Amino acid sequence: MATRDRTSALLRRCVVGATVMALAAATGCGGGGEDDAAADTSCEKSSGKVTLQYWSWVPGMQEAVDAWNRKNPDIQVKLKTTPAGNAGTYQNLSNALKAGKAPDLGQIEYDSLASFRLKDGLRDISSCPGVEAAGEKFVDWTWSQVEFGAHGEDGVWAVPQDTGPMALFYRKDIYDRLGLKAPATWDEYADQARELKQAGKYITHFSQTDPNWFTGLLWQNKATMFERDGDAWKVTVDRPESRQVADYWQKMIDDKLVATDLQGFSPALYKAWNSGEVVTWISAAWGYSTIRDNAKSTDGKWAVAPMPQWQAGSKQAGNWGGSTTAVLGKSKHPAEAAEFALWLNTDPEALEILNREGGLYPAAKAGLDLPALKKPVDFYGGQKIFDVFAQASANVDTDFTWGPTMTDTYRYLSDGTAGVIGGKNTLADVLKQTDSQSVESLRKQSLDVAD
């Protein structure tokens, strides 16, 4: 696996969902009504040589593109390396779409697909050669992310790339010294937080800049944030399952059991890992290299266990991470673009490169059998840590629903959480505020909102 010091801050933003996002044919829906009827869904191959433009932020992607170009002299791909989605790529893509200068392909996170479809930024590739049969090659819930409508009746809008099943990273050496075991439940986790505090340590940090991490915690508790109600959207950010998660972490914050002055993917956090001041991290599969590359003095001292459960004996997991390769709406070569997207995310050579160089946990079923994912990991004491993530991936709730304006929802969560850390409100307040703000965001997009 390649060093991911510079990718950690990028991939932390890759949040995935696990359900069909059916943007209905509602007025102003971008993907519905007369616009939908007039949309070009043909996917004929181009004549002659083709050059495709592709934007991605995955380190090592150029090596994969080079491998494709060597094998496909008539379909050449030119890569532009970009910032992570919300760090710049999405705004640049939006600007390029408006100017008619968008690339043929772009890396887009699952939770942002609906937003780009809303602005007519994506191409339905369901009729492109090989796409219809490709669904069986991917983990089921990831394919449901790129289909819209019940059973994909509204098309296929991207090809899944990677995922981020979540688990618990913990300092096994410190746990062993204190006579602790990996917690099976969240109650046990809180009890350990108190014991660790007495030992002068924090069990983890709580960042106000990672709302997608918090969303992964909600996801584990089946606290979906949006639902479909006929042709309308129903916002469900503030719901009992979400409040259970919020109340739990609010008490951890109030009791000063978690570090609240450390932001995710920051030098201060890495220092706290190295010193043993912070001893666990609830994170995604790609987080293994974040710790490895930024807490090198702790080599061999970490281990991985399943996420703590709300009910003893449960096996639910959240998900934090995942992107797609999407064909942009104005591409003149959708067939060739779709062909490259399918190769990039299913070919064994490409999967190996993206895992080795980019640290991606593949969405393709074949990728789960990569030799690197079957081997013991020295940094984690020789544990086969990806066995834990494979189990987590199988236990991700497939009913979690993304809304079409998730960028706004994340901003509301982040802004509200900053107030929690400052003592101005509570996480329960943030859920209520985000719920009402998300309703208004939908209405501003002329989307129908259910009461």
Pairing outcome for strands 50-56 and 75-81:
parallel
Q: How many CB atoms lie within 10 A of CB 52?
A: 23
Q: Provide the greatest CA pair distance for the chain.
A: 70
Q: Does 445 score more than 70 pLDDT?
A: yes
Under DSSP, the state recorded for 313 is T
What percent of the chain is predicted at pLDDT more than 90? 72
The mean per-residue pLDDT over the stretch 403-428 comes to 92
**Most confident of the following: 202-211, 250-259, 417-426:** 250-259
Q: At 145, is the pLDDT very low, low, confident or very high (cuts 50, 70, 90)?
A: confident
Q: Taking the model in full, what pTM does it have? A: 0.83
Mean pLDDT value across the chain? 89
Residue 373 confidence (pLDDT): 92
Q: At 4, is the pLDDT very low, low, confident or very high (cuts 50, 70, 90)?
A: very low
Under DSSP, the state recorded for 319 is B
Q: Name the burial class of residue 58, with classes exposed (0-12), middle (13-18) and buried (19+) by CB atoms within 10 angstroms of its CB.
A: buried
- 4 Rama class: left (phi>0) / alpha (psi -120 to 50) / beta: alpha
Residue 27 confidence (pLDDT): 29
Residue 231 confidence (pLDDT): 86
Q: Does 40 score more than 80 pLDDT?
A: no
DSSP E strands: which ranges in 328-394? 361-362
Q: Please answer whether residues 294 and 300 qualify as being in contact, where contact means their C-beta atoms are separated by less than 8 angstroms.
A: no
Q: At 6, is the pLDDT very low, low, confident or very high (cuts 50, 70, 90)?
A: very low
Residue 91 confidence (pLDDT): 86
Q: Does 140 score more than 70 pLDDT?
A: yes
Cα distances (angstroms) measured from residue 358 to each of 10, 170, 362, 388, 445: 11, 23, 11, 20, 35
pLDDT tens figures, 296-318:
999 999 999 999 999 999 999 99
Q: Does 78 score more than 90 pLDDT?
A: yes
Residue 150 confidence (pLDDT): 64
Enter the tokens of residue 242. 């979400």
The rounded distance, in Å, linking the Cα atoms of 362 and 49 is 30
pLDDT tens figures, 256-278:
999 999 999 899 999 999 999 99
Q: Does 54 score more than 90 pLDDT?
A: yes
Report the candidate in 404, 397, 400, 407 with the shortest Cα–Cα distance to residue 224: 400
Q: At 2, is the pLDDT very low, low, confident or very high (cuts 50, 70, 90)?
A: very low
| Cα-based angle 442, 86, 252 (whole degrees, multiple of 5) | 85
Q: Does 22 score more than 70 pLDDT?
A: no
Residue 15 confidence (pLDDT): 36
Encoded amino acid at 4, one letter: R
Enter the tokens of residue 78. 């030119």
pLDDT tens figures, 355-399:
888 888 999 999 999 998 999 999 999 999 999 999 999 999 988
Pairing outcome for strands 105-109 and 50-56:
parallel
Q: At 16, is the pLDDT very low, low, confident or very high (cuts 50, 70, 90)?
A: very low
Residue 286 confidence (pLDDT): 86
- Euclidean distance between the first and final Cα of the chain, in Å? 48
Enter the tokens of residue 443. 């209405």
- Of 28-42, 129-143, 349-363, 432-446, the least confident: 28-42
The rounded distance, in Å, linking the Cα atoms of 164 and 236 is 23
